[in-house]
Amino acid sequence: MKINIYYGGRGLIGDPTLVAVKLIMNVLDELNVRVTKYDLFEQKSSITTLPQTMKEADAVILASTVEWHGVGGPMMSLLDACWLYGDKEHISQLYMAPVIMSTTYGEKEAELDLANAWQSLGGIVCPGISAYMPEAAELENNEAYRKLVEKAAENIYRAVKQRQQSLPVSVMAVRKATYKTRNTTLTQQETEQLSEYASDEHYVAKQKEDIRELADLFKGKLNEKSQGTESSGDLSEAFRAAFRPQSAVHLKYKFNIKGKDKALVLRVDVKQLEINYGELVHPDVELTMEESVLRDITEGRKTFQGGFMDGSIVSKGDFKSLRMLDTMFPFSN
């Protein structure tokens, strides 16, 4: 027989639940039961993988301390993980015994809460232990209390060994009527692998970094589209097709197209032509115009010099270099 114990307390010295768990483990060990204890406070980053450990068990003991209200976050996180990633078919055959020690009040409510949660998962609940123990010493030093805990451990063993049946409860009927399996193409094994990845902090951090990089990439692509690079992409092709290299020419041009965030940049180095959208520091000529004017030029209906003369192009820089544009790019031919 294999029983897993999941301790949901904080692991503090003087926690009465730890004393109760130790007594239970001693009894189960004497009964030749293989017992594995999981401290949830030490496995916060891997808690989503813990439902996998239940697949090898015949029963589980959920042990927690009520310090002010309820069983606490780690235990609820484990139950959430069972709901999301647990093997419901195996859980339906899995016995659960709650072990609740309260240092304030509410042990009965917490025990009932765990029982209801386990039944909602489809599992089987067997009698456990709940008690008010403000100090661990009360349990350690009281022989009668210790015998009651040991007796409860024997009852847990007997219930699991004999596969005791329980009467149906309403929560099971509600669960069957309302629970819907998630519509997913993932196998159970793939779901477990994903839960393992989700618990790996380094993996999650890397995935978040990759997602940010992809988001930035697609954001850049969208920005390029919104800035007209898609609609203006044929402009760069028109420049390449019309390019006529000139000897001893080393010029840089910046075309500010109204309504676009990025400029069209041309770099001419004798026979080499480089075109892109971006920024250019200290261009030889900087031109500002409407996109329709630049299209009129690339389609041969106007020249750069003509646009400058009629005022549709505002130019800064050497006028001779401006005229060189019509020489290097004779769109009208």
Residues 243, 158, single domain; the answer is no
The position carrying tokens 């041309």 is 266
Domain of 323: which CATH number? 3.30.1050.10
Distance CA 25, CA 110 (A): 22
Q: Is residue 227 one of the residues assigned to a domain?
A: no
Considering 22-31, 216-225, 273-282, the range whose residues carry the highest mean pLDDT is 22-31
Tokens of 198: 């989700």
Q: Is residue 100 one of the residues assigned to a domain?
A: yes
CA angle 72, 39, 117 (to 5 degrees): 45
Residues 120, 46, single domain; the answer is yes
Residues 102, 249, single domain; the answer is no
Residues 256, 166, single domain; the answer is no
Domains in the chain: how many in total? 2
Cβ density class 223-257: b for 16+ within 10 Å, e for less: ebeebbbeebeebbebbeebbeeeeeeebbbbbeb
181 versus 151: the higher-pLDDT residue is 151
> 284 exposed, middle or buried (CB, 10 Å; 0-12, 13-18, 19+)?
buried
Residues 179, 237, single domain; the answer is no
pLDDT of residue 23 exceeding 70: yes
Residues 31, 135, single domain; the answer is yes
Q: Is residue 42 one of the residues assigned to a domain?
A: yes
**Among 187-196, 237-246, 278-287, the least confident range:** 187-196
Q: Is residue 192 one of the residues assigned to a domain?
A: no
Distance CA 273, CA 327 (A): 14
Tokens of 298: 């690339």
Distance CA 110, CA 284 (A): 78
The range of the structural domain enclosing residue 257 comes to 233-328
Q: Give residues with Cβ within 8 angstroms of 309, minimum separation 6.
A: none
Residues 136, 6, single domain; the answer is yes
Q: Give residues with Cβ within 8 angstroms of 294, minimum separation 6.
A: 235, 255, 257, 264
Residues 109, 179, single domain; the answer is yes
Q: Is residue 69 one of the residues assigned to a domain?
A: yes
Residues 141, 273, single domain; the answer is no
Residues 161, 266, single domain; the answer is no
Check: CB of residue 111 under 8 Å from CB of residue 128. Answer: yes
Residues 278, 162, single domain; the answer is no
Domain of 124: which CATH number? 3.40.50.360
Q: Is residue 176 one of the residues assigned to a domain?
A: yes
Tokens of 29: 């060990």
pLDDT of residue 233 exceeding 70: no
pLDDT of residue 193 exceeding 50: yes
> Of 151, 183, 215, which residue constitutes the final position of a domain?
183
Residues 154, 270, single domain; the answer is no
Give mean pLDDT, residues 107-135: 94
Q: What is the pLDDT of residue 234?
A: 72
> Of 156, 183, 210, which residue constitutes the final position of a domain?
183
Residues pairing with 63 in the sheet = 7, 99
pLDDT of residue 29 exceeding 70: yes
